[in-house]
Structure 1
Amino acid sequence: MISYLSGTIKHKGPNYLIVLTNNAVGYKVFVPTDILTSTPPLSAEASAKADISLYTFTYVKEDALDLYGFPAQDDLTMFELLIGVSGIGPKTALSIFSNGKLPKIKEAIVKGDVSFFTSVPRLGTKNAQKIIIELRPKLGSLGLLDLTGETGETKEIIEALKTFGFSTNEAKDALKSIKDLEGTTSDKIRQALKYLGRKT
């Protein structure tokens, strides 16, 4: 299994790159649209300077062995979560990344934004709902959910935890442990306190 690639871009396709590694082997890697648009146009002179490093997922089935590449480990983690949802294949998951970067995907999951996912070609309402239902509880436990901004409910939880003598950093750390994102603010405070209690 190939988990990481580093080399120079030798070719850009409509949804993939060919990356030439130091050992002169070229790998075809499917990538999100933003990677394709952010890399410079290739020429004989420029290709030697078009360096790229990607975290990769190797997809194996009877008639294919494909690589999917992402600029950061968190992107790859989200991709793996998406293809873990029944009915979501790697090409659909990649199209989700082309529809929006990681923060936008996380926001759509947390807010239950079905329309974000149904705007992806060949992704219907039922599968969009499955993504939200199955992945929303997982984001916090994996540290992918950004709940550290001090606005709205998050600020209320942080202030409540501070009244118990915890620092702002401790409170923000505890926010990442919250798994029941559907619960009330009081429920989330109790979850955070339980987490902090185990650390003391």
Structure 2
Amino acid sequence: MIGYIKGEVSHLFPEYCFVDVQGIGYRICIPLSTRQRLSVGTTISLFTYLNVREDSLTLFGFFTEEEYDLFMKLIAVTGIGPKAAVSILSAIRPQDFYIAIGQKNIGVLTKIPGIGKKTAERMILELKDKIAVPLDNEYAGIGISDAAADSAQDVIRQTVQALITLGYNQAEIMPVIKQKTEEYQQANLACTVEQLIKEVLKDFGAR
């Protein structure tokens, strides 16, 4: 098994690249998230997976360990092969994928090209107990009183889910949600999902 490859990117294509390692060019299939970080002439190190079939040997490469880890989990799901796993990684960040699995958000998963409802349900079923979904940690530090914690957490979860569906990612929306939630708490006001979504979208629109 080839664990990683380090060399110079000699060619870049939409779905793969050539990496020159001491004069030998390795053809490596990559997701869009990895391709966006590569440029011809630079020296890189990619985590790799060698897919062995009777008629072919195919290398898949990933810029981050997080991408590689999710890829390995995906190909363990019934009916999902390496190419499908790479397509998933090209369409959604690992962090957002884990959130969708943790929330059993079929709507987000079926927006991934090639993923239908049955496949989304199967991924949720087979992965929900194998991943650490970073939900509660993301909400930690948001000023919420103990009495209202459950209700507020639910509002935040639904807001995150709705905004991810609209195309935003968790990394950019959580700081704004944290700020808006604290403002509501300081004013002793209850916050609904609809209000919080409007506040976040208003903030992004003013930037």
Q: TM-score, normalised by structure 2?
A: 0.63
- Are the counterparts in 2 of residues 83 and 93 from structure 1 also a CA contact under 8 Å? yes
Q: Which residue number corresponds to residue 107 of structure 1?
A: 99
- Are the counterparts in 1 of residues 4 and 47 from structure 2 also a CA contact under 8 Å? yes
- Are the counterparts in 2 of residues 5 and 54 from structure 1 also a CA contact under 8 Å? yes
Q: Which residue number corresponds to residue 148 of structure 1?
A: 137
Identity %: 32
How far 1:3 sits from its partner (Å)?
0.9
How far 1:73 sits from its partner (Å)?
2.1
Partner Cα separation in structure 1 for residue 58 and residue 141 of structure 2: 42
How far 1:151 sits from its partner (Å)?
5.9
Q: 1:63 to 1:115 in 2, by over 3 A?
A: farther
- Structure 1 gaps of 5+ residues are 160-200
Q: Which residue number corresponds to residue 70 of structure 2?
A: 78
- Are the counterparts in 1 of residues 92 and 112 from structure 2 also a CA contact under 8 Å? no
The amino acid across from 1:25 in the alignment is I
- SS of residue in 2 equivalent to 1:130: helix
Partner Cα separation in structure 2 for residue 24 and residue 77 of structure 1: 29
Q: Which residue number corresponds to residue 35 of structure 1?
A: 34
- Are the counterparts in 2 of residues 96 and 117 from structure 1 also a CA contact under 8 Å? no
Q: Which residue number corresponds to residue 170 of structure 1?
A: none
Partner Cα separation in structure 2 for residue 116 and residue 26 of structure 1: 37
Q: Which residue number corresponds to residue 25 of structure 2?
A: 26
The amino acid across from 1:33 in the alignment is L
- SS of residue in 1 equivalent to 2:36: helix
- Aligned pair count reads 144
- SS of residue in 2 equivalent to 1:88: coil
- Structure 2 gaps of 5+ residues are 150-207
The amino acid across from 1:98 in the alignment is S
Q: Deviations over 1:147-179 (max 9, x none)?
A: 423068xx97xx9xxxxxxxxxxxxxxxxxxxx
The amino acid across from 2:37 in the alignment is S
Q: Which residue number corresponds to residue 114 of structure 2?
A: 122
- Are the counterparts in 1 of residues 29 and 61 from structure 2 also a CA contact under 8 Å? yes
How far 1:72 sits from its partner (Å)?
2.1
- Are the counterparts in 2 of residues 7 and 52 from structure 1 also a CA contact under 8 Å? yes
Partner Cα separation in structure 2 for residue 90 and residue 115 of structure 1: 23
Q: Deviations over 1:53-82 (max 9, x none)?
A: 111111111122111111222321211111
Cα RMSD of the aligned pairs, angstroms, is 2.2
The more displaced of 111-120 and 98-107 is 111-120
How far 1:35 sits from its partner (Å)?
2.1
- Are the counterparts in 1 of residues 15 and 32 from structure 2 also a CA contact under 8 Å? yes
The amino acid across from 2:121 in the alignment is Q
- Are the counterparts in 1 of residues 106 and 117 from structure 2 also a CA contact under 8 Å? yes
- Are the counterparts in 1 of residues 18 and 27 from structure 2 also a CA contact under 8 Å? yes
